[in-house]
Chains A and B, each alone.
Chain A
Amino acid sequence: MRQELICITCPMGCRLVAERTGEGELVVSGNRCPRGAAYAREELFAPKRTVTATCRVSRPCAGDRSCAAAETASQALDAPRRVPVRTSAAFPKDRVPELLARLYELEVELPVERGAVVLADALGTGIDVLATRSLK
């Protein structure tokens, strides 16, 4: 079986050809460096992607009138309504939709610090999802 793919490890973007031999081995050509062969192996057998997304935030004072009144109108308007997050490592590609669905259900309580774990051991992969911005 012969497959063509593009290495995304670095901006060179080498065009790779991967061929599976009879013994189930993978022969890679077209790569300008060894990382290309490793990429082809991973991409064909267990593709992974770093996932970034945003989660809803819940301000502790939301709904509390005394607190809402303390905020000036302009602060309330330009206060971000999503907190950005990313996976701590590349995540199995076929499970990305499932991960996103889980992240969109989350509500992150403020304040949150950059680097805080918003979802630990996501879908049992051992990979955490971290906040990438501090929000008050």
Chain B
Amino acid sequence: MKEMRFDSAVIGGGAAGMAAALELAARGLSCAVIEREGHLGGILMQCVHNGFGLIEFNEELSGPEFAERFEEKVRKTAITPFVGTTVIEIENEGAEKVLSCVSAGLGVVRIRAKAVVLAMGCRERNRGNIRIPGSRPAGVYTAGLAQRLVNIEGYVPGKDVVIIGSGDIGLIMARRMSWVGCKVHAVVEILPYPSGLTRNIVQCLNDFGIPLYLSHLTTNIYGKDRVEGVEITPIENGALMTEKAFKIPCDTVLLSVGLVPENELSKTAGVEINPMTNGPIVDSSLMTSVPGIFACGNVLHVHDLVDFVVEEARRAGAFAAEWLSGKRPAKEVRVKAGPNVRYVNQSRVDPSRDNKLYLRTLIVKNDALLEVKLNNKVVRQAKKSHVQPSEMISLTLGPAELEAALQVPDSVLEISIQ
């Protein structure tokens, strides 16, 4: 069996993987990027709509443009990309990690590295995850699969479409399906508010006169061989109004009901998973519970903007390089998600430097207040004109806020939103 050795290996060649690898290479470390698909870029290659890179490039680019700009940078470095290659297992062998990989071209390969960055992205929740009753006809797709079929492979999966879930992917697909000649009859959302951005409601639904049913549950999918329709039931004051249920005829159902970080592989290495994010628990240097294994991008927690993915991935790459050079944080403070905070992306902060944190709230509110407490003392307050669960919040905390923790053992940092 073929074996290869690198200082570092990055699993996944999407935006996160490429950004992390560039940082490792910039610090003179040899680096392999291992990507399952035949090319780098990840999910961006099927996101042909614009809206990427406003922060990174100060331009509104489409997904493939954004990805290619990164790929060009990667090709100019000594990074070794392995495309069409899947990692199937990670083992810890002394100070090294061993990645078992398979590819059509190379067969089975073992890649050894002292540090590994996980950047495998996420997968879509499917019908089984949300348990919609009914028969099992053809014509039910996840929105991302439909996006790939339409935008890359050139197949339109139906004519009359109902979309379940109002996240941005579902909204973007409502416009795409309309633009390729389908009729989108409805977007159905169980929550009382849309999960996607308002601008996507306007551009992707209102522009096409597509009705959005908020507080409605999909209670049945009909059809024997092919989908024939869905049954939609309104929810009022938390109760299903079965007598007000109605049927929408359609031949295709797209599900846009959330994403789950892809961590089956991480578990093979013994990486501990946070049940709130479904991503690895990481410390102040984005290192998982297994020393030498780092995580970033959608495999760590689901991001809404690629710009944030890239920012986080750059730090993961830089932290992995520091770790390889023997640097360790002197002291770390535990981070706790307080009232109305669903999660914070990392479980620890380093009081000796700036820490960029990403968090999600549980509530929808205008003029909200973000509060940070260190050992029950308020160290930072910030006004937020609008917060909602689908919009990630970022926050930087540095020595000014965290210094006091150096004197107190077992300090706790709590972040809350009111």
**A interface residue numbers (CB < 8 A to B):** 6, 8, 10-13, 49-54, 56, 74-75, 78, 80-82, 84, 86, 93, 96, 100, 114, 132-134
Contacts and interface: CB of A to CB of B under 8 A. Distances in A.
Given A50-B60, A82-B152, 6 more contacts: A6-B198, A10-B199, A13-B202, A52-B49, A114-B64, A133-B68
B203 A8 contact: yes
Contact of B64 (A8, A96, A133): A133
A81 B155 CA distance: 9
A107 to B, nearest CB: 12
Contacts of B62: 52, 84, 86, 132
A54 B154 contact: yes
B199 A13 contact: yes
Contact of B198 (A8, A93, A96): A8
Interface of B: 37-38, 45, 48-50, 60-65, 68, 84, 104, 150-154, 179, 197-199, 201-203, 206-207, 385-386, 391
25 contacts: A6-B198, A6-B201, A11-B197, A11-B198, A11-B391, A49-B203, A49-B207, A51-B179, A52-B49, A52-B62, A54-B150, A54-B154, A74-B38, A80-B45, A81-B154, A82-B152, A82-B153, A84-B48, A84-B151, A86-B50, A100-B179, A132-B62, A132-B65, A133-B65, A134-B68
B199 A78 contact: no
Contacts of B50: 50, 52, 86
Contacts, number: 76
A24 B6 CA distance: 69
Contacts of A10: 199
B207 A93 contact: yes
A127 B151 CA distance: 22
A74 B104 contact: yes
A2 to B, nearest CB: 18
Contacts of B61: 132
Q: Which 3 A-B pairs have the closest CB atoms?
A: A13-B198, A84-B48, A133-B64
Nearest to A85: B48
A114 B68 contact: yes
